[in-house]
Structure 1
Amino acid sequence: MPKTQPTVVILTALALEYEAVLDWIEDPEELTHEGGTIVEAGRLSGTPWTVAVAELGEGAVNAAALTTQIIAWLRPEALLFVGVAGGLKDDVEIGDVVVGTKVYAVQGGKLTPEGFKARPEVWHGSHRLVQAARSVLREMKNEVRGHRKPIACADVVLADDRSAFAEYIGQHYNDAYAIEMEGSGAAHAAHLNGQLDALVVRGISDHANPDKDEADASGSQGRAAAQAAAVAMAILRRLRPRDHSSEPGEGAAEEPRHRGDHLDFRNSVFNGPVVGKITGRP
């Protein structure tokens, strides 16, 4: 019987985030869930991991629903949400990467005669993944400016740093270094799964201010997505599967790249319905 390969799912919201991650994956094969959700799955060279990449679209509700479906389908050992975000602090620059030690869902609260009182929900990044990220960012300090900080999540595109909503974020989520739209949905789905390691990794593409459109037009989103993907791949290279079937470092540097070989995903990786499979990418 073929040996089961440990699996990591990487979720993205936008096409450019998806492509930035997929650039790292060897010989991806397209798999379709019976509900219609599509992923591309392949190997991350030099690691024991099979990586499945999905593009979910925008919004926390959508992310939560599709993340739940993908977890039940692919049964991964770890899950990362990788993409771009707006920076909330003066010392966060475009192209920096924020690894979410916490993810806030910011829109819950109670409206009273005394004003709005926030009732935030928060999910912590997996200790295993945060520790791997800390080590990786130390090693990559000459390549990327990294921050291990909280991330705020709201179904709002923030393009005015002087707005009432920006002030609300600053008052109630003052330690957040970035703001995005999907992380809380994915983190909540992973939390409900129980033992699944999860982490949000975001590249900073703008400063969540009126210059956002100008920054996006300059290509900042593509650069930020590429930086986030590079950090995510470095984290996976540091992470070892829980079964400890191989010792740390064993086979990592020596493992060849097999561009012509394909894993039998139906039999060895996924425990779920696969409707269609397309080998390779153009």
Structure 2
Amino acid sequence: MPETYPTVVVLTALPVEYDAVRAHIEVLDDDEIVLGDGTRLERGRLPGTPWTVAIAELGEGALTAAALTTRIVSELHPEALLFVGVAGGLKDDLEIGDVVVGTKVYAIHGGKEAADGFLARPEAWHGSHRLLQAARSALRGLDGVRGHRKPLACGDVVLADERSALRGRIQRTYNDAYAIEMEGSGASHAAHLSGQLDALVIRGISDLADAQKADADAGGSQELAAAQAAKVAVAVLRKHRPRVPASVSSDTEEGPRYGGDHIDFRGSTFNGTVIGKIAGRP
């Protein structure tokens, strides 16, 4: 039987986030996956690892992320899923370009409006222990990145006022949240419902969720934050290992060497489709 290599899906919302991730992946020529609902992903490999990587740009919002993540997971059956992109910082010790690896993701809009105010009814999804451990190890030796392993707040809102009622409510109710973003809860919920899928949200800080957000964006902060988040995501995948080694054909004496560049993907299968050639460096 042909060798089968494990799959990781990396999801993004914005073009700048997608481009930052794609820069690290050896994408096959014209190898675009089109799902039944029209969702498109590009497929390639991360050099020096056993991973086949499928990347997608989903658009903004938790509902979109939840729906499309569910479809992607059901069709591609990945071992791991990362959502990688930018976020607004909520803590004074954060700087633009820092990266927050989500130990958990809060959905911040659930609650009840009562006579005595808004009563929060939080939901939260924890990041995969295996991926968080890989992140801890990766961040120790990653030059040029200030990394934080902290909770994230997720809501369908762009926060651009540090004095807003929402900012105050997040500070009171989700006081440990380090950054706010828009898709992590949807992707995390879909991963949770799928069963044993390892999932993690990684966000680069592109603004400080304040009135200077537009100026920061205009100055290239999103490009910087997306690049830093992608760098961390790649470092995590270099540390992360598949649960089960790749299956090996009967005439092969040993499987792929996970630590080097000796992986030959020729004859591999992906979702039932034979790949013509995805080869490691000679």
What TM-score, normalized to structure 1?
Answer: 0.90
User: Considering only aligned residues, what root-mean-square deviation do their CA atoms show, in Å?
Assistant: 2.2
Moved more, 128-137 or 28-37: 28-37
Correspondence 1:253 to 2:260: yes
How much has 1:237 moved relative to structure 2?
0.5
1:83 is paired with a residue whose SS is strand
Structure-2 separation of matches of 1:26 and 1:116: 48
Task: Classify 1:190/1:263 alpha carbon distance in 2 versus 1 (closer, same or farther; 3 Å).
Answer: farther
Is the 2:4–2:246 contact (alpha carbons within 8 Å) kept by the matching residues of 1?
no
How much has 1:139 moved relative to structure 2?
1.1
Task: Classify 1:109/1:271 alpha carbon distance in 2 versus 1 (closer, same or farther; 3 Å).
Answer: farther
Task: Classify 1:4/1:245 alpha carbon distance in 2 versus 1 (closer, same or farther; 3 Å).
Answer: closer
How much has 1:251 moved relative to structure 2?
4.4
Task: Classify 1:187/1:271 alpha carbon distance in 2 versus 1 (closer, same or farther; 3 Å).
Answer: farther
Is the 1:126–1:199 contact (alpha carbons within 8 Å) kept by the matching residues of 2?
yes
Paired letter, 1:231: V
Paired letter, 2:153: A
Structure-2 separation of matches of 1:110 and 1:223: 38
1:128 matched residue in structure 2: 130
1:209 matched residue in structure 2: 210
Paired letter, 1:193: S
Identity over aligned pairs, percent = 65
Task: Classify 1:122/1:156 alpha carbon distance in 2 versus 1 (closer, same or farther; 3 Å).
Answer: same
How much has 1:269 moved relative to structure 2?
1.2
Q: Which runs of 5+ in 1 are unaligned?
A: 273-278
How much has 1:115 moved relative to structure 2?
1.4
How much has 1:245 moved relative to structure 2?
5.0
Residue pairs, 1:189-200, within 5 angstroms:
189-200=190-201
Aligned length: 267
CA-to-aligned-CA distance 1:181-201 (integer Å, 9 cap, x gap):
000000000000010000000
CA-to-aligned-CA distance 1:54-90 (integer Å, 9 cap, x gap):
0000000000000000000100000000000000000
Structure-1 separation of matches of 2:103 and 2:27: 32
Structure-2 separation of matches of 1:116 and 1:251: 51
Structure-2 separation of matches of 1:239 and 1:21: 17
Structure-2 separation of matches of 1:245 and 1:34: 27
1:276 matched residue in structure 2: none
1:82 matched residue in structure 2: 84
Correspondence 1:187 to 2:188: yes
What TM-score, normalized to structure 2?
Answer: 0.90
2:34 matched residue in structure 1: 32
2:236 matched residue in structure 1: 235
Structure-1 separation of matches of 2:166 and 2:84: 24
Task: Classify 1:253/1:170 alpha carbon distance in 2 versus 1 (closer, same or farther; 3 Å).
Answer: same
Correspondence 1:9 to 2:9: yes
1:218 matched residue in structure 2: 219
Paired letter, 1:132: A
Correspondence 1:59 to 2:66: no
Q: Which runs of 4+ in 1 moved over 3 A?
A: 244-247
How much has 1:149 moved relative to structure 2?
0.0
Structure-2 separation of matches of 1:193 and 1:33: 18
1:8 is paired with a residue whose SS is strand
Is the 1:74–1:271 contact (alpha carbons within 8 Å) kept by the matching residues of 2?
no
1:19 matched residue in structure 2: 19
Structure-2 separation of matches of 1:92 and 1:270: 41
Task: Classify 1:19/1:263 alpha carbon distance in 2 versus 1 (closer, same or farther; 3 Å).
Answer: farther
Q: Which runs of 5+ in 2 are unaligned?
A: 248-253
Correspondence 1:94 to 2:85: no
